[in-house]
Each structure stands twice: as C-alpha cells, then as structure tokens.
C-alpha cells in the first residue's frame, strides 16, 4: 500500500483551506497514493468566533471530500472537522474516511480532549466546546486494517493497544494539530513508541506554523514503520510525503519479536 501524509497551515479562510487540501490530495494521487491522510481541523483552525457552522457527517465538509476521493480515485482520511454535536455548546471533533468511490467507509470521534493549563505558556480546554467520542474505530482499506485516532489521543497508549489487538490494526493514523512547545520534544517520540509497542505502521499528518495568536503547530508529518524507523517526513511548511508500506515487513517483525503475542495482562 502506498500512503501519503499531507501537511498544511489551515487558517480562518475555509475556502482557501479546502483548496490547499485539494492541491495536496491531487499531488499525492498523481504520485500513486492509495490512501492519503490530512491533518486535524483541515477546514478551519482559528478563533472560536469565526468557527464554521457545525455540520452533520453528510454536510458540506463530507460532500467536498467524498467528491474529491471519487474524482481522484484514492482513499481519503479527511483529517477532522467540527461535527454537529450533542448540544448547542459542543461539537464533536470527527475524522471521516472515504473510499475510492467517495463512499463514507468510517467515522471516528476524538475520544481524548486536550485540557491543559501550563502557567505562562498555554491554557487550552477543548472539553469546553467539544464533546468526547466513545468508540475506538478500525476500518479495512483494501485488506489493510487501519486504526483511527486524532491528535491528543497519541498520549494514551491504551487506545492504540485496543486498535492493534481487538481491532487487528496494521496501520495507525494520527491527524493532528500538535502544539509547537510539546511537539518539538514529544511528537516523534510518541509516534515511534506507538509504532514499536503495537508493531504497526503509523501515518501522522499535522498542521504546521502559526494559526492564531498563541497557537503554533509543529508539523513534521511522518510515516513510521513497525520497527520505529521513520520512512518519510515532511519538512517545515506546506507539503506531503508518499511512502510504500511493506506489509511483509510488518509480518516479519511480528513473527521475529512476538511482543503482542507475549503480552500477559
């Protein structure tokens, strides 16, 4: 399977953000990607006052990426968007998966919400405006089991263990808008750890650069193999990388170092 991770700097202009995503998807489709992963909040990342009206899964956001997946003939994991939530005050942070025909193959609502208070550095309470999801999700993409997650989920290894064991995932995806101050120390370390401990490929697509006062995202989108080796990484700024996943390599690692099979819980 050929997988692409796409990196962009979404801002407050939704039309411009979607156009940037379309250009990246077109680029990776021309490079032969079977599956492309976009970042968290790919359509809007900025002040809450300008937030687009939350939509159902089959709204404007979903229709845009469904049509694009069908036109390009690739699988698309459309990062995430503000899905219409359980009450007027909160949305869901939801990732959508579209197959080559543009049909919705899966959706996942972010389970772990970013509530962090670091005096003098960052104050962010995602749970004030976002409702948590409840169900881990794994979707089969042309025979490959793909476990879904979003950004802050990355810090909770028990979710990925469920995706790998109960969900039998081969590939874990992480659309993200990882903050610069934590990303420079933790992003790659956590991605490689999730790959190693679950013996899975990991494809992580991040936002990059400044988005609003006080919010800068780290970027460095990458694909990691089950041994923890970084197979490809997007440099700073707008861009993408396309990587071939060797599924035989995954099976070889699991056979030679059967840590999943050796668990004693």
- Select which of 55, 83, 110, 126 is catalytic: 110
Q: Is residue 100 within 8 Å of residue 70, measured between CB atoms?
A: yes
- Select which of 151, 188, 200, 217 is catalytic: 151
151 an active-site residue? yes
From first CA to last CA, the distance across the chain in angstroms is: 33
Task: Report d(CA 101, CA 71) in Å as an integer.
Answer: 8
110 an active-site residue? yes
- Cα dist from 252 to 69, 71, 257, 258, whole Å: 32, 36, 8, 10
3-state secondary structure of 187: helix
Residue 100: DSSP 8-state:
T
> For residue 243, what is the enclosing H or E element?
strand 239-244
22 an active-site residue? no
> For residue 182, what is the enclosing H or E element?
helix 180-198
Looking up tokens 């359509």 gives: 43
Q: Is residue 129 within 8 Å of residue 90, measured between CB atoms?
A: yes
Q: Is residue 207 within 8 Å of residue 185, measured between CB atoms?
A: no
Please name which of 110, 253, 251 lies closest in space to residue 177, comparing C-alpha atoms.
110
Neighbouring residues of 6: CB distance < 8 A, sequence distance ≥ 6: 21, 24, 25, 28, 36, 37, 38, 39, 205, 221, 239, 240
Residues serving a catalytic function are: 40, 110, 151
């Amino acid at each position: 399977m050929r997988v692409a991770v796409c990196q962009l700097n979404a801002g407050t202009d939704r039309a411009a953000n979607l156009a940037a995503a379309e250009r990246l998807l077109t680029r990776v489709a021309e490079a032969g990607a079977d599956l492309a992963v976009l970042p968290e909040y790919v359509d809007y990342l900025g002040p809450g006052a300008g937030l687009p009206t939350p939509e159902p899964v089959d709204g404007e956001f979903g229709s845009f990426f469904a049509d694009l997946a069908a036109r390009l003939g690739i699988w698309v994991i459309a990062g995430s968007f503000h899905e219409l939530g359980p009450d007027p005050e909160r949305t869901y942070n939801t990732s959508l998966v579209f197959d080559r025909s543009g049909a919705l193959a899966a959706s996942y609502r972010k389970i772990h919400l970013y509530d962090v208070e670091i005096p003098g550095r960052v104050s962010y309470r995602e749970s004030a405006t976002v409702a948590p999801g409840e169900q881990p999700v794994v979707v089969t993409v042309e025979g490959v089991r793909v476990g879904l997650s979003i950004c802050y989920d990355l810090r909770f290894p028990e979710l990925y263990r469920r995706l790998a064991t109960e969900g039998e995932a081969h590939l874990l995806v992480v659309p993200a808008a990882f903050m610069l101050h934590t990303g420079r120390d933790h992003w790659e370390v956590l991605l490689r750890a999730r790959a190693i401990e679950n013996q899975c490929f990991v494809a992580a697509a991040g936002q990059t650069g400044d988005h609003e006062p006080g919010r800068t995202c780290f970027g460095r989108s990458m694909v990691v193999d089950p041994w923890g080796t970084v197979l490809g990484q997007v440099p700073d700024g707008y861009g993408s990388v396309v990587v071939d996943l060797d599924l035989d390599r995954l099976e070889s690692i699991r056979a030679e170092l059967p840590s999943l099979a050796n668990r004693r819980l």
